[in-house]
Each structure stands twice: as C-alpha cells, then as structure tokens.
Amino acid sequence: MSQYKGKSVLVTGAQQGIGRSMVINFAKEGANVAVNWHNDEQKALSVAKEAEAFGVKVELVKGDVSVVEEARNIVAQVEKKFGKIDVLINNAGMFPRVPLLDMEESDWDFVLNINLKGTFFCMQAAAKSMQRKNISGVIINLASQAISGNSPSGTHYCASKAGIVGLTRAAALELAP
C-alpha cells in the first residue's frame, strides 16, 4: 500500500507542467488531490478529470497565491473539502524573460509576488492548518537551478528562487518538531 493512500495533497500551479504531473502521480498513489489554478480553467478541469480516474477525491481550487487572502482561502477550501492537508507543494511560479536593463518594477514585482510571496503565503496558511489539526505534514517549496544565476533575462526569477531556498531553510528550523 502506498504511503500516500488517503492523504490530502494540495499542489499550487497545478494546471500544467510539473504541477500537473505531481497531481497525477499523487492520485496514482491514492492521495486525494487539490488542483490549484489561476487562469486556465480548461487545463485545470483536464488535470482533475485525469486524477479522478484513479478513484480519489479531487478538488479544483481557483486562486492567486500572490494575494494573501486568496492563498488563505485556497488552503481553507482544501481543508474544508478533505478535512486536512497532509502535503503542500508550492509549485506556482512564473518566468517571463526580461533582460536586466529593460526590467521595470512591475516585471520584478510580478515574479517575486507569485514565486516568493505566494510560496510564503501558502506555506504559512498550510502550516497553521497542520498545526491546528496536530498533523505532522510535509511542505515542499519548489526552487530551481536558476539560483546559481544561470538564467539569462531572468534576474527576477533567479532572485525569487534563491529567496525560496532561504525561506524554506528558515521555515524548516522554525516549524520542525
């Protein structure tokens, strides 16, 4: 039997790519999965349909992780549907390529808000939920090899992913049992 059977997993940015793959793989392992999406309902519905084929509960959760109230509502909706969150995977992220010398404040803010602030907001809300329910859960924050600075026209992305590494290390110390 899988270690995830009956567990509740929330994946942010789950409508495509890595997030989609994680949802499908957790569903294959018997986990109930929450598919967070923001701007493509058809892709989210497709992921949900594929996950449901494994006989698990699936919840579609629309929300912008970069907005604190929406991030909290995402977690609350999953908690209400499944009763708990055992695993949070912070996958939502953006990488619009913009050369450093052409980058505007709005370009910088867009990426940092989704990638770093969104990760923090969802992590905080899920950790509070886990603590309130006395669940020794798992929070996975996706970073990138880009933290080594090897992404041309991606200064903002590199900074956001390096920030996630620092955030995760500090949070692990604070939240560890």
| Contacts of 119 by beta carbon, 8 Å cutoff, 6+ apart | 65, 90, 92, 141, 164, 167
CA distances from 174 to 80, 84, 138, 146, 170 (A): 26, 21, 14, 26, 6
Angle between helices 155-175 and 105-112 (to 10 degrees): 30
SS3 per residue for 73-126: HHHHHHHHHHCCCCEEEECCCCCCCCCHHHCCHHHHHHHHHHHHHHHHHHHHHH
Q: Enumerate the β-bridge partners of residue 139.
A: 88
- Beta bridge pairs of residue 122: none
> Does residue 157 carry a catalytic annotation?
yes
Among the listed residues 7, 114, 157, 167, the single catalytic one is 157
State the catalytic residues: 157
